[in-house]
Amino acid sequence: MKPEIQDAINKQINAELFSSYLYLSMSSYFESKDLPGMASWMRVQAQEEVGHAMKFFDFVNERRGRVILAGIGTPKTDWASPLEAFEDAFKHECGISARIDSLVDIANEHKDHATATFLQWFVTEQVEEEASVDAIAAKLRMFGEHSMGLVMLDRELAGRTASASGADAGESE
């Protein structure tokens, strides 16, 4: 595995673990607001991000590269509203999508077809990642100040369960 590819993937492992940390922080925020469904949804999301990191981790090792772990940044801890949290999650996912696109560019520059093919799973996954948080943000915008809508959405989001295998990041819902 070329050093440039290895470095870029190691940075992505860090970004995925930071994503997990951010969503766990959002989960804690929702717990503090008595919105257990949203807290649970974010907790599942945090687990899935660890799954994404591990997918990269395994890929580097399979290709006889070396995973180097670095410090994970401090996530934001508070939001003005549930809507602001989901809007932040959407912005964060757009940033992750941009990072995945850059990784594909680097793989292509180095004619590393195995990495480019591996990354296609993430390209597809990011479409779903962006869409799922954006759909929740849209509902929150629609409800506005109506607390009944918030309660109903919270109940709906409580239904999200982790995928069968924690390491299998293949299913987001």
Site residues (vs ligand FEO, CB under 6 A): 16, 19, 49, 52, 93, 96, 129
| Token duo for residue 30 | 């929702």
Q: Which ranges of the chain would DSSP assign to H, the alpha helix?
A: 3-32, 36-62, 82-109, 113-143, 147-157
Residues 6+ apart with CB under 8 A from 44: 160, 161, 162
Question: Distance of alpha carbon 41 from its chain centroid, rounded?
Answer: 12
- Closer CB to ligand FEO, 79 or 150, in the complex: 79
Cβ nearer to ligand FEO, comparing 112 with 129:
129
Smallest gap from Cβ 116 to ligand FEO, in A, equals: 18
**How near is the Cβ of 103 to ligand FEO at its closest, in Å?**
12
Minimum CB distance to ligand FEO smaller for 93 or for 112: 93
Identify which of 21, 77, 75, 76 has the alpha carbon closest to the alpha carbon of residue 50: 21
Smallest distance, ligand FEO to C-beta of residue 96, A? 4
Measured from the CB atom, the residue of 137 and 150 that comes closer to ligand FEO is 137
